[in-house]
Amino acid sequence: MNPGLAYAALAYLSWGLFPLYFHRVSGVPALEVVLHRTLWSLVLVLGVLALRRQWAWMRDVLRQPRVLGAFALSALLLAANWLTYVWAVHHGHVVDASLGYFILPLVNVGLGFMFLRERPRPGQWAAVAVAACGVLWLTVQAGRVPWIALILAVTFGFYGLLRKVAVLGALEGLALETMVLAPVALAVLGWWAMQGQGALVQGDTATLGWLMLAGPVTAIPLLWFAAGARRIPLATMGILQYISPSMQLLLGVWWFGELFEAGRMLGFGLIWTALLLYSLEGWSHLRRNVRR
């Protein structure tokens, strides 16, 4: 088997299991979980960079204010995405969170059109239109905009857009993003500790251990993803990416007992139809190019 396929599958399987981890630390407020996730991810990533003696990129980046600014923006988008996702899991909205990652590929089509001058093919536009109908139906059926899903899709879509044009790889990029966020995380956690609040002061050993685990939980799947993306076609990555939201949806319904009414199923059905159209169109386009 192509090792890239294994790496990519491991990454998406890991992300699919994220609700189990974040539910385990649901006794800690979502913001605090994100602050710990930032710091322990930075510790792990710096450790990997130290082992590989991979520091030259820092000198180059520090001389480029525009690059630093772009990564500061991507760090804010990543933090917003993390905070929304953790809050959703803590408050019983795993199914809503899964919806965000189902519609993410279609959001990427729109962002590519608006910012990268990409010209989606008619089949891709059809998929986006069907997905938009699904989101509209979910909005009408629930009486409110599915804001959790939309925030997750839009923040990670723009984050992916910035990383697509970035000059750094996955490991270096995550290191720089967590470096940008770390001073804020340290300041807030330190302030809470001085006030006698937060898991650092009030948490037991098990809770602190689970929070420290946020580092490898965050960084290792990202490294698997980067390794897989270098070895297999983007079309294959596009199909595999549906593993994560599918697992999250199943966990939300069958593990956490969230409701999944018939009306909601229709909206998801439209979005799944859009994803099927999108995948089949991409597969067909790839085959035509191979024949040429």
* SS3 track for 222-246: HHHHHHHHCCCCHHHHHHHCCHHHH
With CA atoms as reference, report the closest residue to 154 among 115, 206, 191, 197.
115
With CA atoms as reference, report the closest residue to 244 among 102, 49, 95.
102
Q: For residues 4 and 231, is the Cβ–Cβ distance under 8 A?
A: yes
Query: How many domains does the chain fold into?
Result: 1
Local confidence pLDDT in tens for the 292 residues of the chain: 578 788 888 988 999 999 999 999 999 999 999 999 999 999 999 999 999 898 988 888 878 888 899 999 999 999 999 999 999 999 999 999 999 988 888 888 888 888 878 787 888 788 888 888 988 888 888 788 889 999 999 998 898 888 877 788 878 888 999 999 999 999 999 999 999 999 999 989 999 999 999 999 988 888 888 777 667 765 566 667 788 988 999 999 999 999 888 888 888 888 889 888 877 887 777 677 766 6
Which tokens go with 280?
A: 């089949």
Range of the domain at 90: 3-291
Place of tokens 């804001």: 147
